[in-house]
Structure 1
Amino acid sequence: MSPYPILVVTAVNAEAEAFRALLDPEKIVVEAAGVGPAAAAAGTARLLASRPYRAVLSAGIAGGFPGRADVGSLVIGVRSIAADLGAESPDGFLPIEELGFGSSVLEADPSLVKALCAALPEAAPGDILTLATVTGTAGTTDRLAARFPHAVAEAMEGYGVAVAAEGAGVPFAELRAISNPVGPRNRAAWRMADAFAALRTAAPALNTLP
């Protein structure tokens, strides 16, 4: 096993504190880097430059796609996808690939995903979308679900963390706890306590990652 710890990056301190006390600080370091893909990328790059890490895990709460990830469940990102990185057109959204400017999809490290799935067998693997503006309407939900049939959740930071990890040559994956269904925005229906409980449940398993 590498002598270096795993870096877990959350958006806000509430997510970090949800399970930091349950993690072995010799094996896992948890830091909040900020909300959104830009803050996540910059914060993760700064953290990776400060000391060696053997892997990076983007973690926190997320919205789950109905029928694919239930509220209170865990999901593991096989790919982190910048779902709104591209351009509008009269014929619909054009991802950055069609513009010739790079890729909106970053693959998680297969070995790290395999270890996470083994440690957390109840978690659903799939694509996790990163959006700077999260979904708040049924129409957008339907369009995203159609564009990304393997997407289980959406959040705001995974792709940014993945970009920083890829730049540093460090293995990356994403772990999310579902607090609400993707769809029309109804903050009163969010079950934050259930999502934070799911994160705490995941902590012992993270301590066993190789």
Structure 2
Amino acid sequence: MTGAVLVVTAVGAEADAVRGGARDAVHVSAAGVGPAAAAGGTARLLALAEAAGTPYRAVISAGIAGGFDGRAAVGATVLGVRSIAADLGAESPAGFLPVETLGFGTSVIEADGELLASLTAALPEAVRGDILTLCTVTGSGATAARLARAHPAAVAEAMEGYGVASAATAAAVPFAELRTVSNPVGPRDRASWRIATALAALTKAAAAL
């Protein structure tokens, strides 16, 4: 398959980290924070490329993330088998109801199998699992425990993957999510975050693209 790969990050620091390791056939853009900005920015880039006659052959959501304790350590690279909108749904007396239960669609988008296999081969030490997308990232141990119970295959959480995946799916372009872990999911202890470590790992992982 011909064409460039589009890598969508949230912020410029992540985009710069990817550019530091990526090859010429990779186009990198920072679309903004959160699933709405990610979806809108990705859809626009895909539409412009299609209109110019140079469609992208794949889309990757990339950046740093929080890792679930015991599943993805700080500094690890993670590959999303599925991108899950973990807070898309409704509250109820019985607890959180995902959007599927409400009958309004799906909160889960699977990565393209061929693309994921290619990334796994290029990054054999990467941790594979589900990556959660949240509009409000976790800031307490109780929320981290609840999410870990609800999503036993989740290895990390971030804020954009499901948005990028939604735009890619609508455009019928293969999608995957790649992240590097800067901090544990749980209480917000900025002193323990290792953002520089995660960005360096992102640059290294980007060479696989």
TM-score of the alignment, normalized to the shorter chain, above 0.5: yes
Q: TM-score, normalised by structure 1?
A: 0.96
The offset of 1:18, in angstroms, is: 1.0
Following superposition of structure 1 onto structure 2, how do residues 28-39 of structure 1 map, counting pairs within 5 Å? Answer: 28-39=26-37
Cα RMSD of the aligned pairs, angstroms, is 0.7
Residue segments in structure 2 that go unaligned for 5+ positions in a row: 50-54
Does the alignment pair 1:114 with 2:117? yes
% same residue: 69
Indicate yes or no: 2:100 matched with 1:102: no
Q: CA deviation at 1:203?
A: 2.1
C-alpha distance after superposition, 1:149-175 (max 9, x if no partner): 000000000000000000000000000
2:47 to 46, 49, 67: 49
Aligned to 1:74: 77
User: SS at 1:205's partner residue?
Assistant: coil
In structure 2, the partner of 1:183 is 186
For 2:22 and 2:42, the matched residues in 1 are separated by: 19
1:32, 1:163 → 2: CA distance? 17
Please give the secondary structure, in 1, of the residue aligned with 2:71: coil
Q: Which moved more, 1:186-195 or 1:125-134?
A: 186-195
Aligned residue in 1 for 2:20: 21
Whole-angstrom CA distance in 1 between matches of 2:80 and 2:207:
19
Which residue pairs with 2:38 in the alignment? 40
Q: Distance in 1 between matches of 2:72 and 2:82?
A: 16
SS at 1:122 equivalent: coil
Whole-Å separation in 2 of the counterparts to 1:150 and 1:203: 24
Corresponding residue number in structure 1 for 2:68 = 65
Q: How many residues align?
A: 204
Deviations 1:35-76 (A, max 9, x none): 000000000000001111000000000000000000001000
Q: How does 1:111-190 map to 2 (within 5 A)?
A: 111-190=114-193
Equivalent positions of 1:192-207 (< 5 A) are 192-206=195-209
TM score, norm. by length of structure 2: 0.96
Q: Give the whole-Å Cα distance in 1 for the aligned partners of 2:169 and 2:202.
A: 25
Shift of 1:22: 2.6
Distance in 2, matches of 1:49 and 1:21, equals 26
> Which of these residues, 70, 75, 87, is aligned with residue 84 of structure 1?
87
